[in-house]
Amino acid sequence: MEKVILLRPYFSHTIWGGERLRDEFGYDEPGNDIGECWGISAHPSGESIVMCGEFEGLKLSKLWDSRRDLFGNAPGDRFPLLVKIIDARDDLSIQVHPDDEYASVHENGSFGKKECWYVLDCPEDGHIVLGHNAADREELESMIDEGRFDELIRKVKIRKGDLVQIDPGCVHAITAGVCVLETQQSSDITYRLYDYGRLQNGKPRELHLDKSKDVITVPDPSASERIRRAPEDAENEPVRLISCDRYEVSRVKVNGECTFGTTAGFICASVINGSGHVHDTPVVKGSHMLITAEGAKTVRMTGNMEVILSDV
């Protein structure tokens, strides 16, 4: 059994995207509007493809369906995670996601969308939209209906290295200059609440106000409950960033060599800085891979690099 399977990402071109994903991560993708790199994805909206080895050319969804042993025989009718790098040249729309129950009923059986962001870069005074200020649902609906979004949204300062948890029902937006690695449920369901009046192909982008009102959490938890930070000096062992009912996310800073055991059936891994090897597979900044059931038992990494890991 192969221990590491490298994946070729899918790229999403967006109204707010830029060139950083090509210039800083080395992706061979044309255009100046590259908004998202779907590094590890089996979602039909954009799939990763195996780059080399026995399964070269196979979509991740097909690998999941045909070789479940590679994933520790994990249950489920679809691959559960989606890992992205998002580059915001401009502000993203203010949005909210549904939970599994709402999405199953209203979005043709889709997963809901719980996600987290690891901040790769941001301006010195960087911030995100995280939550809202409405005291109750009546005030929330009034603010939305009257377009009082400056009053509604909560802006929160962030730093490089922050981990931000975005639960379903949380109003949120990435802002200009911010770059994150996002780990999420395998879902492409987003309800757009506000888009600054922008036009795409001469027309405003669709808003989803009624569904947004349905799913927004009221009252809103404090932002401090959603942001955490790992120790800066931790090296050569995984440091847990977040653990929830849909995923666990860790960071490992490799300096020389590290080896660690896991109980995961499989691991999603993305190199966000540096280069080295995962088992015997050479990797560089921007590499995305599946560490299979065999490789996940005892993971060996060498080099000088920073890697984000996730599993279920």
Q: pLDDT tens digit string along 69-86?
A: 999 999 999 999 999 999
pLDDT of residue 233: 83
Question: 150-162 pLDDT, tens per residue?
Answer: 999 999 999 999 9
The three-class DSSP label of residue 247 is coil
Domains 9-47+60-229 and 239-311 share a fold: yes
Which CATH number is 9-47+60-229's, of 3.10.25.10, 2.120.10.30, 2.60.120.10, 1.10.1270.20? 2.60.120.10
Instruction: Evaluate if residue 275 carries a pLDDT over 90.
Output: yes
Cβ neighbours for 64, distance < 8 A, ≥ 6 positions apart: 42, 71, 78, 79
pLDDT band at 225 (very low <50, low <70, confident <90, very high): confident
Q: Counting Cβ atoms within 10 Å, is residue 77 exposed (0-12), middle (13-18) or buried (19+)? A: exposed
**pLDDT tens digit sequence for 23-50:** 999 999 999 999 999 999 999 999 999 9
| Mean of pLDDT over the chain | 96
* DSSP 8-class letter at 8: E
| Across 199-222, average pLDDT | 94
Element (H, E) at 144: helix 137-145
At residue 246, the pLDDT reads 97
User: What number is the average pLDDT over the span 210-238?
Assistant: 92
Q: Quote the pLDDT of residue 293.
A: 98
Give the active site residues.
192
* Mean pLDDT along residues 172-194: 98
Q: What is the band of 229 on the pLDDT scale with cuts at 50, 70, 90?
A: confident
Confidence of residue 241 (pLDDT cuts 50, 70, 90): very high
**Non-local CB neighbours of 33 within 8 Å, separated by 6+ positions:** 13, 14, 15, 17, 18
Domain ranges of the chain: 9-47+60-229, 239-311
Give me the mean pLDDT over the 274-295 stretch: 98
Record the pTM.
Answer: 0.96
Which percentage of the chain shows pLDDT scores above 70?
100
3-state secondary structure of 192: strand
Q: Is the separation of the CB atoms in 166 and 190 below 8 Å? A: no
* pLDDT tier for residue 190 given thresholds of 50, 70 and 90: very high
What pLDDT, on the 0 to 100 scale, is given for residue 223? 86
Contacts with 149 (C-beta within 8 Å, 6 or more apart), sequence order: 94, 143, 193, 194
Contact 305, 276 (CB under 8 A): yes
**Strand, helix or coil for residue 88:** coil
Query: CATH code for 239-311?
Result: 2.60.120.10
Angstrom distances, CA of residue 153 to CA of 132, 134, 164: 4, 9, 16
Which tens digits make up the pLDDT trace of 91-129? 999 999 999 999 999 999 999 999 999 999 999 999 999
Of the candidate ranges 60-64, 121-125, 232-236, 241-245, the one whose mean pLDDT is the lowest: 232-236
